[in-house]
Amino acid sequence: MEYDDGILKEYYRRSYFAVDGLWFMKVEEDSSFEKALELDEKVWRVLPKIQARKVKELLGIDGDSVRDLIKALELKWTAEDYGFKVVKRGKDHAEIHLKKCPWYELMKKSGRKHLAEQIGGLICTTEYGAWAKEFDQRIEFKLENMLCRDDKPCRLTFKLGDE
């Protein structure tokens, strides 16, 4: 049987989000919210490294500039169905606005919006910090706004700092 690529991508994308949420809730049931968040942070310290290395390979990225990082993250954001806009893109600095976040949408849908800011503040900072360091240890990441805090687009900034 043959399947449309769009259907396959949607299935895998939804499975990716579902397994993360399900895993979190099962740890929370078995232990506590705090323990689930602690373990989730540990996972999100490692997964972005794996993702970044694979995206570099897939896109043939051999540089380590902020511009290269954003090129790689654009694949992630597109694949995961974020609504994003690259506001500034330079070799050493970038600013991105995330207007739609699939993780936030999932939390709202599952009745867990009240936890979104706490989870997002920790996990997004961890995840994007790990992506940045995979490109260059000197790249600094800041999460300026959070969609899940004040309904303003997440404002992500990446800047090459001094060693």
**Ordered structural domains, the chain, with CATH:** 5-160 (3.30.1380.20)
Q: What is the pTM of this model?
A: 0.91
Q: What is the pLDDT of residues 53-75, one digit of tens each?
A: 999 999 999 989 999 999 999 99
**pLDDT at residue 163, rounded to an integer:** 54
**pLDDT at residue 160, rounded to an integer:** 95
DSSP 153: P
**pLDDT at residue 59, rounded to an integer:** 96
Residues of the chain with pLDDT under 50: none
Query: String of b and e for 128-144 (b: at least 16 CB within 10 Å)?
Result: bbbbbbbbbeebbbebe
Residues near 119 by Cβ (< 8 Å), separated by ≥ 6? 37, 40, 107
